[in-house]
Chain A
Amino acid sequence: MPLDRGLRAFYGTRPEGEAAFLASKIAVSRNKSPASQSRGLPAENDRMLKRSLLLAATAAAFLSATALGAGAATVRYANQGDLKSLDPYTLNETTTNAHLGNVYEGLTSRGKDLAIGPGLAERWEMLEGGKRWMFYLRKGVKFHNGNDFTADDVLFSADRVRAQGSNFLTRVPKDAKFTKVDDYTVEVTLPTPNPIMHYQWDTWYIMDKEWAEQNNATAPTPASAQTPGHAALNTNGTGPFRIESHQPGVRTVFKANPTWWNDAKKEHNITEVIFTPIGNDATRVAALLSGEVDIIEPVPIQDIARINASPNARTLTGPEVRTIFLSFDQVRDELLSSNVKGKNPFKDKRVREAFYKAIDIETIKSRVMRNLATPSALMIAPEFFPLSKEFTRPKYDPDGAKKLLAEAGYPNGFEVGMNCPTDRYVNDGEICQAAVGMLARVGIKINPIFEPKAQYFAKVLKAGGYQTSFYLLGWTPGTGDPHNVLYDIMGCRDNPQSTRGESNLGGYCNKKLDELTDKILVEADASKRTGMIAEAFKIGNEDFGYIPLHQQALAWGVSKKFSIPQRADNEILFYWARKE
């Protein structure tokens, strides 16, 4: 019966095929997307599709077109990620912070080279070795709704950023006390000195007290809320752009703010930014090549050459401050997944050193990363630590690695499981694959588990019980300071009361390093502090607690008519952009 045939075709073939595809699509790494399959097609198109004309036949009277005219300085921007909530305290994540950094401003700012400079505070003083601070606010600054920016807004923002539902609780120390001296002076006092208190304040965006109170948005919307918050859909900042419309996950329109306090000296010539998230790599690249968008982030490594070969687009690449590294479970008495029973081989420093020496970083750099990576001897990017040049990686030495393994009692190597995300860092899955091959050469059999980030992080983080024996992770110190790495990643996690080492998935621990970390936190003398940081990293390197691999590269694709400085923290900030 034809009907049955049709039904079979429908129920039998189609859904299963689609479901299987969907599953593979979700699991697939972002750099393995179909883009590569259609590589090599010429890209000659030079102009974007022109703006809409309402069809003459339609009854235009009752239609309100949302069409936007294409001004000369309209920038179209596509990012892999969404702009989810507009509330600046909801999600501490680079892309979101960058988006909102066009709209909101902090007391401090960071320049194109990430150097800290004045923001809404014109200047500040650190007193009593970092226990007391004075912030002198900029005068004449107005929020987008016309309200004046004053000390009250700073005090309000300090409370709001530390309220329940905020993901920025660590931006402002919990015990910091804010006092209004006058309308344009704020005093901050701390029980213990903290010379780097303001390091992350460029992304602690100041909100308008009056506006938040009027709109019942005095606290960030927590994920568990049953009603949406006003600030999640609306903004009122002091920054160079304001948000005109926002459809979550679809499109966001930014307009230049003519009343920006720095408008007279502005560097950009942009009047409008239209942001669209495009998750699919191939589509995002196609949109750039066809001229429909002016800037995309990120560009998959394998598409860089094609974009550079096209007549109307180019790529901007540069080192990112994120450090990619491997590390091991150094806590458990027996590894979760290994054929070595009754003991943990990674507790032996010689085994860790052998793993380090078995990794051929130059091959990873040239083959896996296509030279878009900077091999690193440290767990922190050189931008954040002036002495990083003094550190070098031990040489790639597979024979030495074999010898070390034999000395440690594993002349024939051993087997161990490895956890690896596939959609979090640039070519993360491929890096792990390369490492598996390199370790096989010294007799170590790695059983890798490749997973999308959602499943990977569910297992390896603290909430998942640190379920890993050997893993790959990337880390950007949110503070832009080595203390964050020494405390969160390299600190002992043996005290359950402390937050130290919560992201130390393998549990590396050296009390001497912890002692130095505590001193580094309160040391106000810059050169002394740098010396102590160097000493701490030296301890970490000598212990071979981690195998730092590289700082991955940033890759943005931009139209040739468009220019923007590429900041190493991957923030795309339109107040430095220009379009012809």
Chain B
Amino acid sequence: MPLFKNADAARETAMLAFTIRRALQALGVLLAVGIIAFAMFRFAGDPVNQIVSIDTPAAEREEVRRSLGLDDPVPVQFGRYFLRAAQGNFGISYQFRQPVAQLLIDRMPATLELAFCATVFALTFGILMGVYSALRRDSLLSKLFQAVSLVGISLPTFLIGILLIYLFSVTLGLLPSYGRGDTVRLGWWTSGLFTLSGLKALIMPSITLGLFQMTLIMRLVRAEMLEVLRSDYIRFARARGLKTRAIHFGHALKNTLVPVITIAGLQLGAIIAFAIITETVFQWPGMGLLFVQAVQNVDIPIMAAYLLLVAAIFVTINLIVDILYTVVDPRLRSTLRQPV
């Protein structure tokens, strides 16, 4: 018994050290993203041109430039920004004259809901199609799935989006071509999940955003499943005379899902970050659209805050996945003690 306690304590210490180490790494990542972002901003154009009209006298322009601190050297600008950001002040958007944090919070529900729906779509159809095409490898439907997955991987997101719009909005008139439809307010969160027009508006953007993930998951499930089905324990299970159904779904699929969950988790970050294109095509009022508009208008406060936010999302998801690994797979725990 005491042996167990010791092991538990050691594991907890290791876990704590691991978490602290990862948190420090996360800070480093954020700092690096900030430095790279600030180094890139001067190639984005001159923000002053977007703040004032073209016929604005030069003296007035210089006044704006000076008041924004844009005439300071880049390291000074970066330092000032980071000091403020560390205190939770992300500044005021040049174009909207609103606090950036508020703008991002206002836009966040749209992006997260879209990402959530896209993930659900990708997981549901990806797993179903993957399992089917692994079990009935030679059927016509499997070949169709394979073909669809090829389309999903090779067609660019914006093209899929526009094709959907022309088919379902312009030609058939079934679904809205832009926006979120009507939303309901739940505290600070706005949701389109509770109105008919909101749900309708979610369909095409979710498919567009989730299609790549769906094909990825489908191919992953198929490959994993085929491999698992060949393994010894499945053969033993067959030899024991278990029902095919139990073997396929009780044993094979369960073992297939471990890497799928990992990928899906990691992909969630990608879906949030790369919703930019889908949001642009569907005029989806999320953070990605805000970012694209900010790039076009050289709105540095929004660009900087968005990049930091996305970096933070990635770091957090990776951290959670790393920790979950050790929970799911006891064999990985031993690696915790070694420095990463």
Contacts and interface: CB of A to CB of B under 8 A. Distances in A.
A572 to B, nearest CB: 18
Given A226-B91, A457-B49, A63 B44 contact: no
Interface stretch (A148-156, A287-295, A406-414): A287-295
A287 B177 contact: yes
Interface string B35-62: 0000000011110111111111111111
Interface residues of A, number: 100
Determine the interface band of chain B, counting residues with CB < 8 A from chain A.
Answer: 35 or more
B20 interface: no
B294 to A, nearest CB: 10
A527 interface: no
B243 interface: no
B158 A25 contact: yes
Nearest to B56: A167
Contacts of B99: 227-228
A167 B52 contact: yes
A67 to B, nearest CB: 4
A249 B184 contact: no
A475 to B, nearest CB: 8
Contacts of A228: 92, 97-99
Interface stretch (B2-10, B137-145, B163-171): B163-171
Interface stretch (A84-92, A332-340, A518-526): A84-92
Interface in A533-571: none
Contact of A454 (B50, B266, B276): B50
Interface stretch (B26-34, B191-199, B233-241): B191-199
Interface in A479-519: 484, 488, 499, 502-503
Interface in A37-90: 37-38, 41-47, 49, 51-55, 58, 62-68, 78, 82, 84-85, 87, 90
A43 B270 CA distance: 35
Interface string A1-16: 0110111011000110
B173 A2 contact: no
Contact of B293 (A3, A41, A249): A249
Given A66-B183, A67-B182, A248 B58 contact: no
Contacts of B200: 49
A222 B54 contact: no
B172 interface: yes
A167 B295 CA distance: 22
Contact of A3 (B175, B259, B290, B298): B259
Given A25-B280, A42-B171, A478-B55, A64 B185 contact: yes
A63 B198 CA distance: 14
Contacts of B159: 34, 37
A5 B220 contact: yes
A45 B259 contact: no
Interface stretch (A128-136, A375-383, A434-442, A460-468): A460-468
B227 interface: yes
A250 B285 contact: yes
A127 interface: no
A15 B89 CA distance: 29
Interface of B is mostly: helix
Contacts of A118: none
B95 interface: yes
B1 interface: no
Interface string A221-262: 111111111001100000000000001111100000000000
Interface in A422-458: 423, 452-455, 457-458
Q: Which interface residue of A15, A41, A52, A66 has the most chain B CB atoms within 10 A? A: A52
B97 A225 contact: yes
A18 interface: yes
Nearest to B156: A21
B279 to A, nearest CB: 10
A85 B169 CA distance: 31
Interface string B177-215: 111011111100000001111111000000000001000
Given A249-B285, A457-B45, A503 B54 contact: yes
A31 to B, nearest CB: 15
Contacts of B280: 25, 279-280
Contacts of B62: 463
Sorted nearest first, the 7 A-B pairs with minimum C-beta distance are: A454-B45, A45-B173, A458-B46, A92-B53, A224-B67, A52-B182, A52-B197
18 contacts: A15-B270, A21-B156, A25-B292, A38-B163, A44-B171, A46-B173, A49-B173, A66-B182, A82-B95, A85-B97, A223-B68, A225-B97, A283-B178, A454-B49, A455-B44, A457-B49, A462-B58, A502-B58
